[in-house]
Amino acid sequence: MTQQVKTDQAWMASGEGHPRRWAILSVLVVSLLVVVLDNTILNIALPTIQRDLNASQGELVWAVDSYVLAFAALLFTWGVLGDRLGRKKILIFGLVLFAAASAICAFSSSAGMLIGFRAVMGVGGAAVMPTTLAIITVVFPPHERGKAIGAWAGAVGAAVALGPILGGVLLQNPQWSNWLTGNDWGSVFLVNVPIVIVGLIAIIRVVPETKDPNPRRLDLQGLALSVIGLTALIYGIIHASSTKSWLDLGVVIPVLAGLAIIALFLFLEARSDHSSFDVTLFRNRGYAVSLVAVSLAFFALSGITFTLPFYLQILRGYDTLIAGLCFVPFAIGQIIAAPSSAKTVLRFGYRKVMTGGLILVTLALVGLVFLQLDTPIWLLLVVFFIFGLGMGNVIAPASTVMQNVLPLARAGAGSAVQNTVRQVGGALGVAIIGTVLATQYAANLKGTLTQLPPQFPEAAKQAASESVIATMGVLNQAEAGGLPASIANSVREAAYADFLTASHLASLISLVVVVIATLVVGFGLPHITPLTKKIEMGAGPAPVDAADAMVETEAADYRGQAQGEYPTGKEQV
């Protein structure tokens, strides 16, 4: 213990970060991996789940977004509690809850049960995301933080690769899942449990406890308002997917109420002497623009990753494993770009790197707008790779800019804000793209269904309009019941074209959103000199923006703040 204390005193004195910081990063990446992995596995399993549970398109959206609802609503709360009670404690609690809910999801016998326990998974997952990023911010000094956050962001890319592949393998070999759970897809949830167990053992052994050494009075009012406001806002957004209308009162009332409560939260936080979040950060152009860029990028990513599995599995006829492998180029692009973005930023600066990344995402979305049934698969893989390269050069630099302006003691709350906005953007992406896809497909299909015989039941036509999978199911049943194969095949091919047309519109919406993000970053992000470059150059130029000034202050104060996180003579493990 004495030797360990000396080691801690040495890292505090040098201001170079925790001596085990790279090992800590590896453990935190595993913790993050399991949370992101689950969502990417679920996306590839959606068609299988829909067939097995007879779920509607709206229920599928809720299976994804019930998690997002709980996750986004509680990110800020867990971030604040982590700063106050200890980030390691909150991380462990979140992982345990996440694993337990995952195991129960595997045995779901209805869409409602799956949706409910996916929400519980979101409660646990919400504790993981902000605490991992906050711990990284604390144990790494500012000049190394870009590399560390790049690796953290790269873990998302790794999950995007591993999730569909692992999901494909599990769904292609459902024997043990059937034996354990009685269904073909339960293994995509059970696989989380052993990963969490490994992560928990590593966290207990490697990750130090960190928290605010001088916590303020707990802002219960602010936390309650944030949870209620975010829950109402995201519920309204998601409900739009089920109603297929943004003018429905069940959508309008929650959205307006959520926005009003969030506005009240920000108003009160700005005037509180023990606020959970420093609202003045939004006045910082670097922070605000980076926040916008991340949220809009995740809007596009979430919407596209919700849509593409249906194109690959239904329209192209790929099995789950091949469909999963198609996402690997995206992951490779992000794994390459995110960790190396710190070096790229040193050469070109944050604004050019993030703008370039968004331009790459724009080009990828242009490719998806023109996607056809006979598009060569290699070309689609190239588009995915470009998409991943672009995202890697947006997320990691933007996260670094935002984390560098935060005081260490409130790193959890600060990281939770960016993750909350990211999740709201993602929920909007799934809800809006899902709604556009469903409504446009149903509209396109009306003309196609006129090819069916006049005596074809109207109820069956209505059921076929729910989703492209429902259409295929209705046609298969009708063909087995005597519908001529020539008519069934003609309607089937036309329905494929209807879905593809709807997906083009969805991709076009994502494209417009990313173009807006590109313009915001290109013209709005101030010049911010990377900290590593400043250290190598010595004194360096004077800050040219408030964001730069705050980053300089953070670098100067790191040693003192680190001493507060790790009191002399004792390491909290």
CATH value at residue 142: 1.20.1250.20
Whole-angstrom Cα distance, residue 72 to residue 78? 10
Flag whether 392 is in a domain.
Answer: yes
Q: How many CA atoms lie within 13 A of 479 on its CB side?
A: 14
pLDDT given for residue 425 in this prediction: 84
- Please write the tens of the pLDDT for every residue from 231-255: 898 888 777 766 766 788 888 999 9
Per-residue tokens: 47: 């068609």
Per-residue tokens: 48: 């299988």
Whole-angstrom Cα distance, residue 135 to residue 140? 8
Flag whether 146 is in a domain.
Answer: yes
Phi, psi (degrees; rounded to nearest 5) at 467: -165, 170
Flag whether 261 is in a domain.
Answer: no
DSSP 96-158: HHHHHHHHHHTT--SHHHHHHHHHHHHHHHHHHHHHHHHHHHHHS-HHHHHHHHHHHHHHHHH
Flag whether 519 is in a domain.
Answer: yes
Distance of CA 361 to the CA centre of its chain: 16
pLDDT given for residue 539 in this prediction: 44
Tell me how many domains the chain contains: 1
Phi, psi (degrees; rounded to nearest 5) at 183: -140, 170
Whole-angstrom Cα distance, residue 101 to residue 120? 6
pLDDT given for residue 544 in this prediction: 43
Distance of CA 389 to the CA centre of its chain: 17
Whole-angstrom Cα distance, residue 66 to residue 73? 11
Contact 438, 241 (CB under 8 A): yes
Flag whether 159 is in a domain.
Answer: yes
pLDDT given for residue 60 in this prediction: 80
With vertex at residue 295, the alpha carbon angle to CA 81 and CA 137, rounded to the nearest 5 degrees, is 45
Is the entire prediction scored with pTM above 0.85? no
pLDDT given for residue 431 in this prediction: 77
> Nearest to residue 88, comparing CAs of 33, 132, 148?
132
Give the chain's residues under pLDDT 70: 1-16, 57, 157, 160-161, 241-242, 244-245, 406-414, 529-573
Contact 265, 225 (CB under 8 A): yes
Give 184's DSSP letter: S
Contact 15, 141 (CB under 8 A): yes
Contact 440, 567 (CB under 8 A): no
pLDDT given for residue 555 in this prediction: 45
pLDDT given for residue 407 in this prediction: 65
> Nearest to residue 334, comparing CAs of 153, 73, 83, 529?
153
pLDDT given for residue 412 in this prediction: 58
Phi, psi (degrees; rounded to nearest 5) at 55: -85, 145
Which residues form the domain of 302? 18-218+274-442+499-558
Which residues lie below 8 Å from residue 43, measured CB to CB, with a gap of 6+? 64, 163, 164, 305, 306, 309
Helix axes 485-524, 411-449, angle to 10 degrees: 150
- 248 in helix, strand or coil? coil
Give 17's DSSP letter: -
Query: Which residue is associated with the tokens 């109603």?
Result: 243
- 244 in helix, strand or coil? coil
Phi, psi (degrees; rounded to nearest 5) at 406: -95, 140
Whole-angstrom Cα distance, residue 137 to residue 144? 10
Which residues lie below 8 Å from residue 192, measured CB to CB, with a gap of 6+? 34, 37, 38, 98, 99, 102, 103
Flag whether 453 is in a domain.
Answer: no
